[in-house]
Amino acid sequence: MMILFLNVNTSMIELYGEKGVVRIPFKHAGQLHAHVKDNSSILYITNAVKTVPVAVIDMIKNMGVVIENAPIPSQEKKTYIHVAGEEIIPIDDLLRFRGHYDAHPLTPDLVKKIKQTPLLQSLIKNNKLELITSSRRKELEEERVRKEDERIGSILVDREDLENQSEHGDAEVIDFSSEVSGVRPMAGTGESGAATMSELSELLEGFEG
């Protein structure tokens, strides 16, 4: 059943239903037939009270209902931006997101840049970039440090096992130094960077028209 409210402050009929709210000016009240069938009933609300969630919860408690404790959503302001996934996303010569844990503070200059850059707006809209609070940024930093410690610990354990095996003759120790010396590190504009830019190009195709 749809709910109808006459908003005298805006001179509007407000019709609430499953598809959202429809607002019809009083002078065009005849349009109501286009949204509600003549033989259908609507619930007409004659009075409305502006309130807040806490007041509603207190009213229900006063009815004798025991309400289970629920976490109150954080009202902390989002002050950082980072990559939602694990990608490296270059924006321009001055701005580059180097993976999930590289959170950039939302300075006035960066906010201005977002407003002026369709690419950044598209990445945020498509959940490639995510706005986060300082608390979430702290959690990400702690997670990054923990994973780094685990990685280093794993390397040390593997090396110790290899040395023990070598001492007991259980394994052959292979010298990789000659092969490693011929390996060149991948530059920032290598295959990984090209793949990222290709993704961004595909992402923006729908926003250029």
Cβ neighbourhood burial of 97 (10 Å; 0-12, 13-18, 19+): buried
Residue 28 near residue 35 (C-beta atoms within 8 A): no
The pLDDT assigned to 37 comes to 82
Cβ neighbourhood burial of 123 (10 Å; 0-12, 13-18, 19+): buried
Task: Tell me the torsion sign for CA atoms 115, 119, 120, 126.
Answer: positive
The pLDDT assigned to 195 comes to 44
Q: Could you tell me the two tokens for 178?
A: 């000659």
Q: Walk along the chain (209 residues) in steps of 10 and give the mean pLDDT of each run.
A: 87 88 91 84 82 81 78 73 92 92 92 92 91 91 89 72 58 43 40 46 48
Q: Where exactly are the structural domains of the chain?
A: 2-48, 78-177+198-209
Residue 153 near residue 94 (C-beta atoms within 8 A): no
Largest CA distance in the chain: 95
Cβ neighbourhood burial of 89 (10 Å; 0-12, 13-18, 19+): buried
